[in-house]
Structure 1
Amino acid sequence: MNGLIIKNEIYWHPSWSSDIGRRLSIEDSTKGLFVFAPELSREDILTKLQDIPSDSFSLIELEEVSEKECEFMGDSGRCYRRPLH
């Protein structure tokens, strides 16, 4: 699955968060991170985010993991990390 990390909260427009919620299926989130539904491809996400400056966010690959391997904890309590390639 893919996640979006907000690079700089100061320059992030709240309306962009609203747009992301309306345009894309959000699986989980937490401050500065949106976790997208697994069926959304990177290309699908980037197409819907074309109105948001690309230097405002990073799109990363995520996998759900146990709490002991947690890099990011969503508001749902689920843990995620970037895959170890």
Structure 2
Amino acid sequence: MTAEHPMDPIYFADDRLDRITETLVRMNGHLECLRVTLANLAETAQDHEDRVRSIERWKHTLTPILATGTFLLGATFSIALEKFL
């Protein structure tokens, strides 16, 4: 038996179930989209954190080298300036 008449209670129940099912399918799609977006966001955040750590390592490695280079350039410039004056 199929419910075809709009006043039939079974028709209302079937219609309500159809709308609930459609809503659940849409929600499932939105939740899947959200899951993918959050996974991409977590991956991007991890990549950013890795890059920041890499930059910090380079900074700590280069600091003594730059300090030494700056000192040598300053000393060389001071000696050259004394010789020309």
TM-score (norm 2): 0.18
Between structures 1 and 2, the one with greater strand share: 1
Please say which structure displays the higher CA radius of gyration. Answer: 2
